[in-house]
């Protein structure tokens, strides 16, 4: 559900025959498969991006899981449970795609648990009220979908195929979130205020999900060149704002941005300055929930250790058991 | 420093979506044994009634062709256009054939 532009710079200086042939395939919209030749930097970029994406799905289960037991009705509870299960499934599709590049699942999990790997900054914010579940579905999943639709055409086959599956499953996520917001916005004044408060708190962190502005990020160049990315961070962010602002107005809510206005000339919604210092702070580990999220993942992993060990021991025992018929 | 866990075996998952269609590769799962692999495949790949039947196959049991051999493997069919129905001329008056 949640990818974030966290690319790091890579060099495209390789002019070998293999590298030129590889780029020709990319330019011809050919898909690269795991056993094909690829530049090391392409492989590294993909392992990092796909595993960050997978980690984001897994950590993303935590803020929403927080409200499963307190959902206001059985209908909402069943939907939220299904959504959180989907996020777990999406994490698994993505880990599997990353593993085709030669990195093991155990290694990837280890990178997350030791804090070496990053995940989307958005999950380091707390879910304080039920309205946050609405805001996450509507805004966070909405931003994620904006990011992920172009990834369905990513040059690396396994990643593109995982994204197609994820996008197909994800449209319910955004709709269930918007429905929660709509119900609250049409409810009592207190419920509407709760929806407004959630929008106020989630709006800016959602805009940050698209990553640093193009002017500060030379990083997307290689990813664009390799057709891992199809649009720049700012282009996707603008698409998201244009799609989302009318939806918020339909709810009768206001956005926490005094500079937000429709620009007739460009046909786009213009918005104010994003607090990039906050983005960097949260990404560096100093958001409201970073420590809590990692602690929860570590606890879950450690609490499950005996299950994994027992399953492997049982499988080894079954494998070693002599055939019974030969006893006579 | 934490140590990474022992690796759990990898399985490829194939699902038959409707009666009459072949099982199709959909992805992979990690599981200690075949029974758990089937259960994991059910949970991960059929949350919306996608399948009527699942196969799980140990990934290391699959023998694959080398992409580098693509040309020599598949080139021989390139020149055999007479294997396609459109190679043969049938007058329009004969109707559909």
B31-52 pLDDT, tens per residue? 999 999 999 999 999 999 888 9
CA angle A40/A45/A48 to nearest 5° reads 125
CB contact under 8 A, A318 and B6: no
CB pairs under 8 A between A and B: 59
> CA A10, CA A322: separation in Å to the nearest integer?
54
What is the DSSP-derived secondary structure letter of residue A156? B
> CA A222, CA A172: separation in Å to the nearest integer?
33
Over chain A (328 residues), the average pLDDT of each successive run of 10 is 50 77 93 93 95 96 96 97 96 96 95 94 96 98 95 96 92 94 98 98 97 78 90 95 98 98 97 95 91 96 95 92 61
CB contact under 8 A, A311 and B32: yes
Mean pLDDT of chain B: 90
DSSP-based three-state secondary structure for A121? helix
pLDDT at A9: 47
Farthest CA pair distance, chain A: 90
Q: What is the pTM of this model?
A: 0.90
B8 to chain A: nearest residue by CA? A312
The interface predicted TM-score (ipTM) is 0.84
Sign of CA dihedral A128, A130, A132, A136: positive
> CA A99, CA B87: separation in Å to the nearest integer?
44
Burial B33-48, CB ≥16 within 10 A → b, else e: beebbbebbbebbbee
Going from the C-alpha of A100 to that of each of A6, A48, A113, A268, B27, the distances in angstroms are 21, 13, 21, 40, 11
> CA B17, CA A322: separation in Å to the nearest integer?
37
DSSP-based three-state secondary structure for A202? helix
Distance in angstroms between the alpha carbons of the first and the last residue of chain B? 71
- B6 close contact with A: CB closer than 8 A: yes
Distance in angstroms between the alpha carbons of the first and the last residue of chain A? 58
What residues of chain A have any CB closer than 8 angstroms to a CB in chain B?
Answer: 33, 35-36, 82, 85-86, 89, 92-93, 96, 99, 104-107, 109-110, 113-114, 162, 169, 305, 308, 311-312, 314-315, 318
The rounded radius of gyration (Å) of the Cα atoms in chain B is 22
Q: What are phi and psi of B41, to 5 degrees?
A: -65, -40
Long-range contacts of range A269-273, CB-CB < 8 Å, 24 or more positions apart? A269/A238, A269/A241, A269/A242, A269/A245, A271/A207, A271/A241
**Using 50, 70 and 90 to split pLDDT, how confident is the model at B66?**
confident
pLDDT at B68: 81
DSSP-based three-state secondary structure for A116? coil
Most A CBs within 10 Å, among B7, B17, B30, to test the A interface: B30
pLDDT at A325: 61
**Using 50, 70 and 90 to split pLDDT, how confident is the model at B1?**
very low
CB contact under 8 A, A305 and B5: yes
| Of B63 and A327, the one with more pLDDT | B63
CB contact under 8 A, B6 and A106: yes
CB contact under 8 A, B67 and A93: no
């Amino acid at each position: 559900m949640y990818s974030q532009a966290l690319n790091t710079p890579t060099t495209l200086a390789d002019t070998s025959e293999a590298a030129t042939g590889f780029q020709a395939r990319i330019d011809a919209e050919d898909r690269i498969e795991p056993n094909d030749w690829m530049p090391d930097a392409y492989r590294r970029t993909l392992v990092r991006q796909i595993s960050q994406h997978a980690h984001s799905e897994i950590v993303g289960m935590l803020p929403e899981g927080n409200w499963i037991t307190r959902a206001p009705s059985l209908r909402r509870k069943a939907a939220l449970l299904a959504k959180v299960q989907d996020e777990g499934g999406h994490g698994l599709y993505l880990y599997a795609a990353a593993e085709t590049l030669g990195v093991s699942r155990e290694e990837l999990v280890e990178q997350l648990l030791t804090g070496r790997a990053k995940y989307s900054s958005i999950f380091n914010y707390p879910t304080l009220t039920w309205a946050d579940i609405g805001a996450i579905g509507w805004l966070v999943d909405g931003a994620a979908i904006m990011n992920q639709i172009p990834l369905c055409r990513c040059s690396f086959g396994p990643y593109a195929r995982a994204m197609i599956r994820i996008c197909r499953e994800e449209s319910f996520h955004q709709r269930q979130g918007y429905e929660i917001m709509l119900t609250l916005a049409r409810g009592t004044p207190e419920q509407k205020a709760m929806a407004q408060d959630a929008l106020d708190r989630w709006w800016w962190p959602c805009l940050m999900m698209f990553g640093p502005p193009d002017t500060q990020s030379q990083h997307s160049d290689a990813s664009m060149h390799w057709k891992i990315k199809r649009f720049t961070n700012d282009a996707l962010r603008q698409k998201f704002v244009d799609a989302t602002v009318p939806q918020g107005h339909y709810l009768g809510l206001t956005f926490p941005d005094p500079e937000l206005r429709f620009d007739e000339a460009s046909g786009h919604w213009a918005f104010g300055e994003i607090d990039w210092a906050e983005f960097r702070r949260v990404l560096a580990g100093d958001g409201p929930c970073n420590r809590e999220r990692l602690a929860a993942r570590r606890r879950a992993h450690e609490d499950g250790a005996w299950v994994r060990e027992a399953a492997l021991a049982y499988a080894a025992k079954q494998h070693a058991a002599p055939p019974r018929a030969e006893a006579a | 420093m934490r140590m990474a866990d022992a690796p759990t075996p990898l399985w490829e998952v194939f699902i038959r979506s409707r009666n009459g269609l072949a099982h199709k590769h959909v992805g992979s799962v990690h599981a200690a044994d075949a029974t758990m692999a089937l259960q994991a495949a059910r949970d991960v790949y059929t949350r919306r009634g996608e399948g009527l039947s699942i196969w799980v196959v140990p990934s290391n049991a699959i023998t694959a062709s080398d992409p580098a051999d693509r040309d020599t493997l598949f080139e021989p069919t390139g020149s055999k256009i007479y294997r396609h129905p459109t190679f043969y001329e049938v007058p329009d008056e004969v109707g559909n054939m």
